[in-house]
Structure 1
Amino acid sequence: MTASPTRHSAAPLAANDRTNLAASPRVKLSRRRISIDHPDPRAGERLLADALGAVDRDALDGLLSQLAKASAVARRPDQGNLSFMISMLKSIAPKDSLEAMLAAQMVCVHVATMRCACRLACTDDVPQQESLTRALTRLARTYAAQMEALSRHRSNGACAITVRNLSVQDGGKAVVGNFTQHASLIAAQPGLTDAAAVTA
């Protein structure tokens, strides 16, 4: 079902400034075991944990185990899918455990979305097409919601508001300068100004 191109190297294809991600080790699947391909097992584990946002060995083992299960093709973990999923998780660069879990979910939802799209493209049965279309739509919406959640988490929920046009009537007052609002506190600079001074 899953066709994967033959890969000859794991060299990064895109130029980016995250050299530590390129240095993180690859993962190999063997019979019922996931191993980290690195000359120094402890260093390899630490590098991979840093790249995936895992805080300790248990978190790393859990993430890898869940990704391996989600990579399954015909009920068996697939090396190509797992490598792809780990690579995408590294590129999201989770900074904490919450981001690591959300990024892992995003990667899994993406894989499920693409599998669903493949099945939709390969079927001629109208009821099955309708079912797959609904599933594909739900998965795509879920992914978009996850992207928004990650963005909101990384920005600490802050929304940037830019006011481009401001009109102040005679006798009115306006805040001039940059200001930041946190909860119920407003810190402004330099202060209030009369409308006459603003419009003059």
Structure 2
Amino acid sequence: MNAAAAPKIKLLSHGFSIDHPDPKIGDQLMADALGVADREAMHGMIRQLVKASVSGESPDEVNLSFMMSMVKSIRPRDSVEAMLVAQMVSVHVMAMRCAHQLAQADDLARHDSAARALGRLARTFPAQIEALNRYRSQGEPAIKVQNVSVGDGGKAIVGNVTQHARVIVSDKNPGSAAQDAPKAARARPRRDSAAARREAQA
């Protein structure tokens, strides 16, 4: 659904209303825009965003309009994404408030407090983006390595390999030297016997 087609939210003295001539259609359009499954989830999400939009002591309609627009533009696809996107938008709004407080700080204590809060929020936001991207990509096929075969020359074949891995043992390996020792011992007498026969014939 086009995000621009979603209805707007109007703040009332006792809450909010969805600005649409047909309440049922308005509820459905808003639920689709927020990525939630039903009316209860949609109303709960909007109430939370209304509270996050508070400026001073009361909700701010301009803030709320901005937050709703951002949520719609990111297009959450299910309830998990809807909650995460609402948090992302809220964190951004809070970060900008801290940035405003930092710019207006007239003493060191207020400056340090705003700077610390801004730093934490600024680190949280990219982590939320990463979490959303990771969640959205979970349905993509993963590349699995089933076996690794190391052949002569140190070349590795990665993929569906049916052969067992080959291990090349260095000549400096103590185990290799111990295995080669009997072969050397057996070969040495043959060389000595041949030399002895040549000396006898001479």
**Normalising to structure 1: TM-score of the pair?**
0.72
Query: Structure 1 unaligned runs (5+)?
Result: 1-18, 162-167, 177-187, 194-200
SS in 1 for 2:95: helix
**2: CA distance, partners of 1:120 / 1:40:** 44
Which of the numbers 168, 174, 192 marks the counterpart of 2:157? 174
Contact kept in structure 2, 1:175 and 1:192, CA below 8 Å: no
**1: CA distance, partners of 2:59 / 2:141:** 41
Runs of 4+ in 1 over 6 A off after TM superposition: 157-161
Alignment of 1:47-58 (within 5 A): 47-58=29-40
* CA RMSD across the alignment: 2.9
Which of the numbers 98, 101, 106 marks the counterpart of 2:88? 106
Q: Deviations over 1:140-185 (max 9, x none)?
A: 1111111111111111187988xxxxxx763655247xxxxxxxxx
**1: CA distance, partners of 2:23 / 2:156:** 65
Alignment of 1:37-186 (within 5 A): 37-156=19-138, 170=152, 172=155, 174-175=157-158
Larger radius of gyration: 2
Number of aligned residues: 162
SS in 1 for 2:16: strand
Relative distance call for 1:157 and 1:113 in structure 2 (3 A) is: farther
**2: CA distance, partners of 1:67 / 1:75:** 15
**Structure with a larger share of its residues in helix:** 2
Q: Deviations over 1:56-103 (max 9, x none)?
A: 111011001000011011120111000100000001111111100010
